[in-house]
């Protein structure tokens, strides 16, 4: 039986990591993750009803899998419905994750 759909499922496959994220290897992806992960503690999350700054908020996916979902959306142009099926979450959750990560990375990495 295959493990749940998430980054760890593909960690051992360079081809899959490159396909799903466009990072050259898992190590490249993890090096980028180590740079941005500390800032995720202050991430402003978009929810279906409002923007939420509350910490300790229960998330459906681990933060790294949210990032993986976002990268799949960018790299492959997967639709929200497809991502929702793959990650076993509601389509609205996928929309919120994509918006949250787009905003977060723009403010973290964007040019002023």
- The predicted-structure confidence for 30-39, as pLDDT tens digits, reads as follows 999 999 999 9
User: What single DSSP character describes residue 105?
Assistant: H
Q: Are 26 and 14 in contact (CB under 8 A)?
A: yes
**pLDDT the model gives residue 53:** 54
- pLDDT tens across 68-88, in order? 999 999 999 999 999 999 999
- pLDDT tens across 7-26, in order? 999 999 999 999 999 999 99
47 pLDDT more than 90: no
Q: 82, 85, 94: which is closest to 48 by C-alpha?
A: 94
What is the C-alpha to C-alpha distance for residues 100 and 94, in angstroms, rounded to an integer? 10
**pLDDT the model gives residue 108:** 94
Specify which of 58-62, 97-101, 106-110 reaches the highest per-range mean pLDDT: 97-101
Q: How far is CA 41 from CA 38, 91, 97, in A?
A: 6, 24, 15
Q: Give the relative orientation of helices 63-76 and 80-87 as an angle to the nearest 10 degrees.
A: 140
Q: Are 96 and 47 in contact (CB under 8 A)?
A: yes
pLDDT higher at 27 or 52: 27
Residues 6+ apart with CB under 8 A from 103: 44, 46
User: Model pTM?
Assistant: 0.87
């Amino acid at each position: 039986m295959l493990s749940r759909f998430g980054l760890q499922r593909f960690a051992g496959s360079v081809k899959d990591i490159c396909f799903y994220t466009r990072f050259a290897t898992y190590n490249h992806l993890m090096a980028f993750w180590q740079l941005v992960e500390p800032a995720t503690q202050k991430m402003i999350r978009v929810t279906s009803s409002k923007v939420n700054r509350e910490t300790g908020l229960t998330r459906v996916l681990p933060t790294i899998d949210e990032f993986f979902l976002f990268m799949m959306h960018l790299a492959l142009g997967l639709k929200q419905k497809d991502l929702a099926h793959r990650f076993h979450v509601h389509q609205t959750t996928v929309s919120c994750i994509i918006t949250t990560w787009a905003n977060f990375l723009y403010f973290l990495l964007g040019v002023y």
